[in-house]
Amino acid sequence: MQIYNSLTRKKETFQPIHEGKVGIYACGPTVYDYFHIGNARPFITFDVLRRQLEREGYDVTFVQNFTDIDDKMINRANKEGITVQELADRFIGEYWKDAKALGVRPATVHPRATEHIAQIIALVQRLIDNGHAYVGSNGDVYYRVSAFPGYGKLSGQSVEDREMGASERLDVETDKENPADFVLWKAQKPGEPAWESPWGMGRPGWHIECSAMSMTYLGETFDIHCGGKDLLFPHHENEIAQSEGATGKPYVKYWMHNGFINVDGQKMSKSLHNFWTVRDISKEFDLEAVRMFMLSAHYRSPINFSRDQIEAAHASLQRLYTTRDQLRFLKDKAADRPLNADEEAFTARLKQYEDRFDAAMDDDLNTADAIGAIFELVRDANSTLTAESSKGAVEAALQSFGSLCGILGLVQKEEDALPAEIQQMIDERAAARKAKDWKRSDELRDAIKAAGYVLEDTPQGQKVRKNV
């Protein structure tokens, strides 16, 4: 697999640190609200990365955190008159609902920052002990950026750039040695949750949380760290500085960042009233169509979210569901006989489509071309397989189709059993057709359609599916 490494700014052949095993850390949500469409992109993208690496035989440990303590959480919890933990528990629960609807699998581990205070404190202490951090006069602990010569190697932002930017935002009363230094541990303010530490009561800074949690589960050096492009600086840059400053070892081998999402051609912003949470979108669209939309473009490219784009993705997704249903229907009716020469050639072509899929995925996770390979398979299956096809040929198509869609997390839903009243109308219509009562047959077909189902007459009998 070729991966575009944000650290080296080029594609590189993926070589895991430990043969056969891959460790991935993905930045998760800050759980003070429903997550938005921009958050959904990395959740979907790196879920697919994990699935493809597993397809290629790797044992993947996938870690995605929950940030469950920060300023936004404290402010909202205070506003609602609840504890920060109560707020976190609520929105972690809401995360699971939306992630499931998007087809995002649970990570191997979902660490919460507040459950790793001991590891965070230990990491901060290491940085103080080796001169990379210092305690301010008010009990805050800061990272000493000047002590890390490699600062800026991920983002290209120099220490001087950071100093200039920080100096413009700096409070008059500060105990930082340098405007570019950033906080590792925040001294407690009135009304804030806090934990005991060698520097007094306080709580962790955002950046140090991810360093501590990632190294807890993946070691001091691991394979892949991923997230949205907006996290590249300062969050991921600061993670590198903290982690390598503490250990003296390379922190991450490959960094992957997905591109931004615009909404109707504009940057998503609450002030522009184009800020969409995934929960908002779910009220109007099936979230699997959102997943299809995300995967229809290369993950590093910016994409434009719009109603038209989601409707187009929904239509493409329905073509895939129709194909799956047709193949299952043919399998139930197919003859159990040896493959003929044409079918042997067809099953050989299935392997070619799988190879094209894998080649696309191995080219820096090119899901757009991978979807193209699936649709090539669909066109071939639809034109080749008929009511006379052998069961073996149909089963081979189903297996290839299902395997490839499964890597992308698509076409995973199963239709519920038909309601008893619909099944009764189908059976009555079959009897009417047998009796050549065409008037009654048409009436029943129209009634089935009005109830939200599509009915097709085939040589093998009636075929019914829900109209979505």
In a domain, 286, yes or no: no
Pair 427, 328 in one domain? no
User: Which range has highest mean pLDDT (319-328, 415-424, 438-447)?
Assistant: 319-328
pLDDT of residue 457: 78
**Which strands, in side-by-side order, build the sheet including 141-143?**
133-135, 141-143, 182-187, 202-204
Pair 388, 252 in one domain? no
pLDDT of residue 171: 44
pLDDT of residue 169: 38
Pair 326, 440 in one domain? no
Closest CA relative to residue 373, chosen from 395, 400, 399, 394: 400
How many domains are contained in the chain?
3
For residue 208, with 0-12 CB atoms within 10 Å meaning exposed, 13-18 middle and 19 or more buried, which class applies?
A: buried
Backbone angles phi, psi at 306, to 5 degrees: -150, 165
Q: Is the pLDDT of residue 403 over 60?
A: yes
What is the rounded (10 degree) CA torsion for 304, 307, 313, 317? 150
Pair 402, 457 in one domain? no
166 band by pLDDT with thresholds 50, 70 and 90 = very low
- Between 204 and 424, name the one with better pLDDT: 204
In a domain, 266, yes or no: no
- The answer to whether the CB of 111 falls within 8 A of the CB of 216 is yes
Domain of 176, CATH number, reads 3.40.50.620
Q: Is the pLDDT of residue 168 over 50?
A: no
pLDDT of residue 164: 43
In a domain, 414, yes or no: no
DSSP code at position 67 = B
Q: 3-class DSSP state for residue 11?
A: strand
The lowest-confidence range among 235-239, 281-285, 463-467 is 463-467
CA–CA separation, 215 and 61 (whole Å): 12
Calculate mean pLDDT across residues 261-279: 81
Calculate mean pLDDT across residues 290-305: 97
Which domain does 378 fall in, by range?
307-408
Calculate mean pLDDT across residues 137-158: 94
Which token pair is 380? 């071939």
Domain of 319, CATH number, reads 1.20.120.640
Pair 238, 349 in one domain? no
In a domain, 288, yes or no: no
The answer to whether the predicted template modeling score (pTM) of the entire model surpasses 0.75 is yes
Across the chain, mean pLDDT equals 92
State how far Cα 442 lies from the chain centre: 46
In a domain, 127, yes or no: yes
In a domain, 332, yes or no: yes
Pair 392, 454 in one domain? no
The lowest-confidence range among 70-79, 186-195, 265-274 is 265-274
Choosing from 386, 408, 430, the residue where a domain stops is: 408
Pair 36, 171 in one domain? yes
Pair 183, 47 in one domain? yes
Pair 428, 387 in one domain? no
Note the pLDDT tens digit of each residue in 221-262.
999 999 999 999 999 999 999 999 999 999 999 999 999 999
Choosing from 225, 258, 291, the residue where a domain stops is: 258
Q: Is the pLDDT of residue 431 over 90?
A: no
Q: Is the pLDDT of residue 125 over 80?
A: yes
Choosing from 372, 387, 408, the residue where a domain stops is: 408
Pair 224, 324 in one domain? no
